[in-house]
Structure 1
Amino acid sequence: MLTAFGLLLTAYLTWVAVRDTGAAFCTEGSGCDVVQNSRWSRFLGVPIALWGGALYALLAWATWRPAPRLTRWRRLWRLSFLGLAISVYLTLAGWIALAAFCAWCLLSLATLLAIFVLVHVARPDSAPGTQWSTWCLGNGLLALAVVAALHVSSSGLLDRRGGPRLHALAAHLEESGAKFYGAHWCPTCTQQKRKFSGAAAQLPYVECAPNGPNGGMVSECAIAGVTGYPTWVIGGRHYVQVIEPEQLAAMTGFDWEGARGD
């Protein structure tokens, strides 16, 4: 029952992510909106909800596939522990880095916690079949490796390179004096950076709220007259919106078509 609920929950969140629409009860700028559009919302370019759905599907498979009781328990314990570790990591990342929580994500965390507790309590007398320390160490290292991969992905190190044209445009924006003001927790700022893929690190970006949504704005952004995120300042004019690379090229005199063959 819990795995079926988890599948329905992640299917809905995946549908929302693919359609790029807000989930129910997630108003624009809310903690839910911030988390679901953050850099932690995808892994290897795939919505994290879809990965969660795959985990719930594996739990359902392990539950119903004919197997000796001990073998089934081991599979369920490992999968639920892994899912719980990932969910805890994502929740902490949202709390620490974004100062935000997502009610839908917390619901999935509660579901995984319930599954893990039920599996743990129902263990056979012979489980886990080896010493607890060895069992916990092995599964702990597996969970740590997966969480580390998620953390590396969220840092942008696994992003596609972005292509020479995007890199050239990003360098041109810097040279032209354009400025991109944003916040690390801002969903639309994340969307803007994704349009540059691996070249996003070269953008003339200014972090305006390093201490989170309630931490106030740094003086540089206040002096620049920033009133919302993302804000582009190009030629003295303010544009509070996500702008396509092609449009940025036209606005700053960059030869977008000519750079195609670079």
Structure 2
Amino acid sequence: MNKSQRVRPHKALAHSGTERSAQHSPEWPVLVLALCGMLLTGYLTYVALRGGTPAFCSEESACDLIQHSRWSRLLGLPLALWGFVLYGLLAGNAWRLPARLVRWRRLWLLAWFGLAVSLYMTLVAWLRLEAFCAWCLLSLALLAAIFIRVSLKRPKSAPGTEWRHWLTYCTVATVITLGGLQLYYSDLLAPREAPQLQALATHLQRSGATFYGTFWCPTCQEQKRLFGTSAERLPYVECTPDGRRGLIARVCIEAKINRYPTWIIRGQHYPQLLNIAELARLSRFKWQETSAP
């Protein structure tokens, strides 16, 4: 055995050690992006739990509208908190996983679902609220960057046929997930109406009261949320039926509405959010009529 032959096993061992070191080393670009996402969503979660408005979002701005809409929460928790958990899982998997292929699959799957949900929420804000949130778009950009980075780093050891089947399963699971979100945010799963709120909303309508507002007004949405599923019974007038930048409805101009929301009850203007007790008192609603089972 010559000298070059004796050196080859040592070179092979060194090469094998280098490969193991690469497999155990963190995925630094993904880790940095995920940590940025954790800082972003952590801040938004803090603001949401305090009931405040994020920085650079003025009152009744597009950002403020989205942050206070019903799409900003999932299962009673701020959507930003779910994003924080997602970014945390991405950071944890990018930091340390023993098998390179396992790590790649988990990172790809998390980034895929996160990107899909983020795109869904962006489309909802655009189509339903005609609004975009800079903070939300920043999170979308981070998830897109993570997904692109992970996709480009697909290891050669990933089998082609198995990869195609796995991608199909992920697509089906994503469609089911987004369908579940759409169902959750629809009125199909809404709880039953509270009898007293239903009676008050009906009384407001029959007594000639009018609730003027716009679909892009956060306070108007908050006013509706006070009535839960009975909000559809309110005597509501949309003052911007042609979109946020469209003309104001003639009925709102004739009623001299210049703030949203504005209630007109018994001929008096109330340009503010009114709680349930105030609405009952101003409209002379009698609670005892609905107190009996």
Give the TM-score taking structure 2 as reference length: 0.82
Q: Distance in 2 between matches of 1:187 and 1:238?
A: 20
- Greater displacement, 204-213 / 170-179: 204-213
Distance 1:238 1:73, change over 3 A: same
**What residue identity is the alignment partner of 2:165?**
T
Q: 1:95 to 1:251 in 2, by over 3 A?
A: same
Residue of structure 2 in register with 1:197 after alignment = 228
2:134 aligned residue = 103
SS class of match (2:137): helix
Deviations along 1:210-242, one digit per CA (max 9) or x if unpaired, are 332211222222222221211111111111111
Deviation at 1:150, TM superposition (A): 2.7
Residue 208, structure 1, aligned to residue 242, structure 2:
no
Corresponding residue for residue 24 of structure 1: 55
Measured in 2, the distance between the counterparts of 1:79 and 1:124 equals 17
Task: Name the CA shift for 1:128/1:185 in 2 (closer, same or farther; >3 Å).
Answer: farther
Instruction: Identify unmatched segments of 5+ residues in structure 2.
Output: 1-31
Q: Which amino acid aligns with 1:35?
A: I
Q: Please, which moves more after superposition, 199-208 or 235-244?
A: 199-208
Q: How far has the Cα of 1:95 moved from its partner?
A: 2.2
* CA shift digits 1:4-63 (9 cap, x unpaired): 111111111111111111110101122211221223212233221112112112222333
Alpha-carbon separation, structure 1, partners of 2:47 and 2:190: 22
The equivalent position to 1:52 in structure 2, one of 83, 104, 109, is 83
| Whole-angstrom distance in 1 between the partners of 2:116 and 2:106 | 15
Q: 2:257 matched to which residue of 1?
A: 226
Asked if 1:3 corresponds to 2:34, the answer is yes
CA distance in 2, matches of 1:27, 1:232: 24
Distance 1:157 1:184 in 2: 20
Match of 1:39 in 2: 70
Alpha-carbon distance between aligned partners in 2 of 1:237 and 1:84, rounded to the nearest angstrom: 49
Match of 1:150 in 2: 181
| Segment drifting more, 40-49 vs 127-136 | 127-136
Following superposition, the deviation at residue 189 of structure 1 comes to 1.0
Structure number with higher relative contact order (C-alpha < 8 Å, ≥ 6 residues apart): 1
Higher Rg:
2
Query: CA separation in 2, counterparts of 1:209 and 1:135?
Result: 46
Pairwise CA RMSD of aligned residues?
2.0
TM-score by length of 1: 0.91
Unaligned runs of 5+ in 1: none
Per the alignment, residue 248 of structure 1 pairs with 279
